[in-house]
Structure 1
Amino acid sequence: MVKEVIFTDNHGSLDVYDTLDSILSSEETDRVFHCGDLKSLFSPEKKSEMLERAYNSDDFAQHSKNVKDFRQLNLLLEDLAFREELKADYGPQNNAVKALKEKFGVDFKGVPGNWDGILLSQFIPEIDWLTESQSLSDEFVFGAMGSLEIRKGDVYGPVDPSTRRFRYIWKPDEDYEDFKKSKIYNSLKDKRIDVLVSHHSGDFGGNIPIEIIVKDGVRIPVKGGAGKGIEKLGQENPGMVNYCGHLHDGLIYRDPRTDVLILRPGQNHVFHVEREGKEVKWVKIYKVDKSA
């Protein structure tokens, strides 16, 4: 039996860490999970300016001369464009996590979100990033980001020479609409999974809209955001629990087809869960107190 706290999508806000302090002060807790998107939101215009400036810099011209691998070129560009901003954004959060770990002796585990860059694990080392360590595999708990291989609008990624657009790549965690190509699925397909901690969730629940957005006056249903790999893992692990984020509204939902239980606290709440294997005994919901 374990007791776990789940939070997600705070996008640079420190308010949630005060809420975590309150929960950990009053509730027995074995570990805390973050489901991604610690990075602050900023406008596409600012993103373009930062990337364009780095792309045209003397540093990039000098250091990219001998780089032949496309992904290594991407990492170099991201490093130059975002390092100082990421350090300023992630530093206070790393300090907040460190303080909670020291005060309560609780472990923090996490997965990256689509706003988080490759440098996340470097700037927030106090969180054990499951996409890299899979340190809970002996408990049948695994981490995945779940970003589609091609996703419009994400913050970090390599240059497409034809469009000069940027897209995010997280090593080696892409998902696909064809689950046979999914790196997530192929890395986890033969494993028993009790809990999948992911940023994006699969399309569980058929075609039900999980969130509604309005664009040009038209209501558009939005589902979990991942490709078919995560969905296929749920089909092969009936009753799997999926701690997830990405969409900012909260959700507790049992998929009638696969029996997968989706637990998504959203941006404004924190979940406290008691769980034994795939069986969730209870979920307590705490509202994040906003300081402003």
Structure 2
Amino acid sequence: MPADRLSELLATAGYTAGWTLAGRLPTGVAARLSDAGADLAVRRDGPGVRRLRAHLARARPDAGPAELDDLLRRGMRSYARYWREAFALPAMDPAAVHAAMRPHVHGIEGSLETLRAGRGVLYALPHSGNWDLAGVYLIHELARLGLDPALTTVVERLRPERLFRRFVDYRRALGFEIVTADRPRAAHRALTRRLRDGGVVCLVADRDLSGAGVDVSFLGAPARFPAGPARLARATVAALHPAYPVFAGDAWGVHVGPEIPVPDRMAEGKAVQALADAFGELIAARPEDWHMLQPIGAPA
């Protein structure tokens, strides 16, 4: 059997086992297992772990070796918690998630007022906390306020296809409109339509996958961020807000930053840098919940 095919089968088996078990295990047992897995990953010190350590060192440049070791351990446990909760989410009560999360959501009022006025909102997020649960919270909050309880987001296509379809079905069941990154024209149409209709779009925006991003300074070093969020906000006259999902004890939270203006095409690059600055501030305040085990991307 080819190695890539074997890898796909093992990944499918692992994810299927996660979905099967996570919602059935007692929360404490699942947490201990995910923590143990995270600690094992730290000891093995694979490429993703080493990359996360380097990113965390950028977020906390004054941290000594012992502090960075502790931050890495907490960061990997936070990442493992995301996956544990992702697998268990279909068995969780969305209303209970909303109630638990509501006291820990900060800065969202301005964007909700924008939606009440009929203008779209684009939330740009880094890979942090549990962004799926942040979406569940937002959908229920919109419904509570009498607004359109829907949001549109983009996902990367995974292999194998069976695994990818399960992820898509799972997020659609939460109430998300899902479009795939490998169909850029269809994705652009869906995102544009949602924003022009005064709705919500959520995009992960701390990693450029297109190769056509904007060069920025991020956490004190050069990086490249996607231009898409700023361009979409400008083209649709939507409000662009940075948002940072976090864990809050046994619950969850999100910190939403002020609107980043994108008045015209000339302002797009400045807006991407402003987004990088906002992400940098949010991450530096709570780096353990930033799950960036991939390359951030650097200028060519």
Fold shared by both chains (TM-score > 0.5): no
TM-score bracket, normalised by the shorter chain, equals 0.3 to 0.5
Q: Which is helix-richer, 1 or 2?
A: 2
Q: Which is strand-richer, 1 or 2?
A: 1
Q: TM (normalized to structure 2)? A: 0.34
Q: TM (normalized to structure 1)? A: 0.35
